[in-house]
Structure 1
Amino acid sequence: MLFWRHGRTAWNVERRFQGQTDIELDEVGHAQAERAGRVLASLNPDVVVASDLRRAADTAGYLSRACGVPVDHDEGLRERHGGSWEGLTGNELFARWPTGYAMMDIPDGETIAAVGDRMTEAVDKALARTPAGGLLVVVSHGAALRVVIARMLGLADEQREVLGPLSNCCWSVLGTRRDHWRLMEHNAASLPEPVVLSDDT
């Protein structure tokens, strides 16, 4: 399974909290998504699902056109709703909510638990449609993806920060071993080299 963050937006450059505000990819973001879509198409994905917010939906569209697999859009894959934080820069957030910003505790926003629940439900639905041994690509948003990846790895929501950030248009790869998910790659922008699994048995 592969989790892919959307390409760059103008608000990413300005370090504004996007949340569920429907911001488009900028010119660089489109170029990132076009390049990454061609790279990921070589993995022959079986199922592609994406957030319905434009920045993720348009990113997924590049992969769909490159590999011929249609994109299914799911609101459950949206970014965390940021309430009154949306549109503000990191500096503005720190000035107004210094403690809350440090903890990412949004006073009128969506809880991390709620994000994890809906993301997990959306991923489980998509996995149910993915053939055995097939590849599911999930196109979503940085914060939401870290929450669901952490959950799939068996980590508590509060431990999600052990995963570093996902850069624009980068991805993480999870694989199964003995019926457990494990992280194979994180924040990647190129295809993985083959890994010999016997070296850590």
Structure 2
Amino acid sequence: MSRRVVCLRHGQTLWNVERRFQGHSDIPLDETGMAQAARAASLLAALRPSMIVSSDLQRAVDTASALGRITGLNVAVDKDLRERGGGEWEGLTREEISAGWPREFADWEAPGGEHVTDVAKRVSTSVRRWAAELDPDGLLVVASHGAALRLGIASLLGLPEELWSALGGLGNCSWSVLEEGRKGWRLLEHNAGTLPEPVKSDDSPEATNA
């Protein structure tokens, strides 16, 4: 028996479609995103989760709540699962960012935003904290965001920072599955739940082509 964590990215928002940096901005799911959340919930319910926890941003809460309604589980909320803060870039398109901050765009470091190491630490710490409450064979579903989850997963796996980019992005309402083994966490599935499709995320300049 081993604990497992399903890292579920929220459904689509209008800002995803417009390729705007969302960060901490509290943007709701659009109609497609709500349908994606319902579909993901119907699939993930079959795994019989023990616990659901969500970022405090509405797009993640609504995604988690779709699963909560099917399973009868309450959704806990944790601000530490928020998306990477985008500072001066929040609400801007990639074209606007690249034009206004070419050097920072190349490094994907937003002025006034969060550094990737800080995001990785807070998200992985949160996941560890919630997973510690599971029974030995329990399943935790974490509803969060593209960059936050990718960085948190990399940290949980113990990957050195120079290899974090080796993990691809997560599509809207796709998920990754982690299992706790004797030597730590291991990745069982990544970006599962949909056929390969463009990833519209706050993660990196290349994310839309991932």
TM-score, reference length from structure 2: 0.87
| Residue of structure 2 equivalent to 1:198 | none
The CA RMSD measured in Å over matched residues stands at: 1.1
Distance (Å, rounded) in 2 between the aligned partners of 1:163 and 1:97: 25
Gaps in structure 1 of 5+ consecutive residues: 191-201
| Residue of structure 2 equivalent to 1:69 | 73
* Matched-pair identity in %: 53
Letter in 1 for 2:75: V
Q: What's the CA shift string for 1:131-169, capped at 9, x where partnerless?
A: 111101111000000011001111123422111110000
| Residue of structure 1 equivalent to 2:156 | 152
Q: How does 1:30-179 map to 2 (within 5 A)?
A: 30-179=34-183
Structure 1 segments of 4 or more deviating over 6 A?
Answer: none
Q: How many residues get paired?
A: 190
Task: Indicate conservation of the 8 Å contact 2:81/2:148, yes or no.
Answer: yes
Distance (Å, rounded) in 2 between the aligned partners of 1:108 and 1:87: 14
Distance (Å, rounded) in 2 between the aligned partners of 1:154 and 1:121: 12
Q: C-alpha displacement at 1:176, in angstroms?
A: 3.2
Distance (Å, rounded) in 2 between the aligned partners of 1:33 and 1:109: 28
Q: C-alpha displacement at 1:182, in angstroms?
A: 1.5
Q: What's the CA shift string for 1:77-130, capped at 9, x where partnerless?
A: 000111110000011111111221122111211111211221122112201211
Letter in 2 for 1:144: A
Gaps in structure 2 of 5+ consecutive residues: 195-210
Distance (Å, rounded) in 1 between the aligned partners of 2:190 and 2:55: 20
Is the partner of 2:47 in helix, strand or coil?
A: coil
Taking a change above 3 Å as real, the CA distance of residues 32 and 17 of structure 1, as seen in their structure-2 partners, is: same
TM-score, reference length from structure 1: 0.91
